[in-house]
Structures are given as structure tokens and as C-alpha cells.
A and B are shown apart, each in its own frame.
Chain A
Amino acid sequence: AQSVAQPEDQVNVAEGNPLTVKCTYSVSGNPYLFWYVQYPNRGLQFLLKYITGDNLVKGSYGFEAEFNKSQTSFHLKKPTALVSDSALYFCALTNAGKSTFGDGTTLTVKP
């Protein structure tokens, strides 16, 4: 069985500050890990992925994520938060064709 946990329902940061959205996973075998963002009344939008290789992955809109195998984590980060980053963020794990999503974290960036 595979699972994804996003321990924080809500993350609040001030504009200009760094942000982190946490994700941990459980899977047997090598994980394929993804971050998606969802704006209200829209579909999910791909941000970045880890398949293999470098543990620091860079993605769209200045986001990056760090894969840590020993801690089974894949935290999403951004050095400088923007108000427009406010949205619902999902971490996802794909294994054998099945994608499992975390429960999501609502990020609010305040001016």
C-alpha cells in the first residue's frame, strides 16, 4: 500500500518570506513524487516532480522541492512567497500507474 501525508491543513506566510509545505510518503519501491497546485474552481496544475537523480528539484513559478529518502519526505519550498501563490497544494505519489494524493494544504500568503 502507498500513502501520502500532508501534516498541515493550512500554512500562513507573509509575502516576501520563504514558504515550506510539508509532505511525507510511504511506498515499497522507488517513489515517483509530484507537487500540484489548485486554484479555486480549476483543475490541478503540475509544479514539479522527483523521479530519480538530484534530490533538489526545481519547478514552475520559482518552486522547488527536496527529496529526502531517509526521512521519506518531499517538502515544497519557495524562497520568496507571493500573494498569488495562495492556493491549495497537493503532494502526490505514483506507483504502478496509481496516483495517491495527500489531503492538501491550503497556503495563504498575506500582503
Chain B
Amino acid sequence: DTEVTQTPKHLVMGMTNKKSLKCEQHMGHRAMYWYKQKAKKPPELMFVYSYEKLSINESVPSRFSPECPNSSLLNLHLHALQPEDSALYLCASSQELRRNEQFFGPGTRLTVL
């Protein structure tokens, strides 16, 4: 299985809602990533987990809260988002943190009303 899956594919939420994005991989990768991508722009790194521990947090607002329950799963909990948070949220994984290529999921298209 060489796939990273993400659910849901689309999400519309109000500014007072709480929702979660889910990411799963079964490639035995030990590093997992969350990115935010606006249209026609490069992905912006948000969080990196290595061996289930948060390794990098790129000064992301606290309304985004990552969680890595086990080596295959990565969640992103959303609360009190702003309309400017609307974007494509991409999850990725790699064998190790430093020098391996990343495998990306198809993303969750988030719209905040």
C-alpha cells in the first residue's frame, strides 16, 4: 500500500465549529506532515511529526491543533477558524524526517464561512 489517504475530501465549516481532518498511511513511514496550500501556490509547512512526536511547528495559530495517535494516523483539529484559513490541507508522509521523498495525500478542501 503506497497511498496516503485523507478524509474528508471537502469540508465546509462555520467560524464557531469544531472539526477534524484525518490522514492515514500504511507504508511504515515514521515522519508525517501537515501542509496548507492556497490555489496555485506552494504548500506551506504547518507541522511535522517524527516517530509520533511533534518535531516542527511552524508558528501555526492555536486554532489548528495536530495529533498523532499512532504511527499510521495523523489528525488536525480545527476550532474557531477564520475565512482566510480556507485552503487545501495536505498530509504527507516519508520514511524518515531528513532526506526522504514525501508521499502526499489528495488533500482536504476546506471552506470556512
**Chain A residues with a Cβ under 8 A of chain B:** 32, 34, 36, 41-46, 49, 51, 88, 90, 94, 96-99, 101-104, 106
Contacts and interface: CB of A to CB of B under 8 A. Distances in A.
B81 interface: no
A88 B90 contact: no
Contacts of B55: 97
A103 B37 CA distance: 11
Contact of A97 (B41, B48, B101, B109): B48
Label chain A's interface by main secondary structure.
strand
B78 interface: no
B104 A49 contact: no
A98 B101 contact: no
A43 B104 contact: yes
A51 B99 contact: yes
Interface residues of B, number: 25
A43 to B, nearest CB: 3
25 contacts: A32-B98, A32-B99, A41-B106, A41-B109, A42-B106, A42-B107, A43-B92, A43-B106, A44-B90, A44-B92, A46-B101, A88-B40, A90-B43, A94-B98, A94-B99, A97-B48, A97-B55, A97-B97, A98-B45, A98-B48, A98-B56, A99-B102, A101-B43, A102-B42, A104-B40
Given A51-B99, A97-B97, A43 B42 contact: no
Interface centre among B33, B42, B102, B104 (most CB of A within 10 A): B42
Given A44-B90, A46-B102, A97 B42 contact: no
Which 8 pairs of residues, A with B, have the shortest CB-CB distance? A43-B104, A101-B42, A46-B101, A97-B97, A44-B104, A32-B99, A43-B106, A43-B105
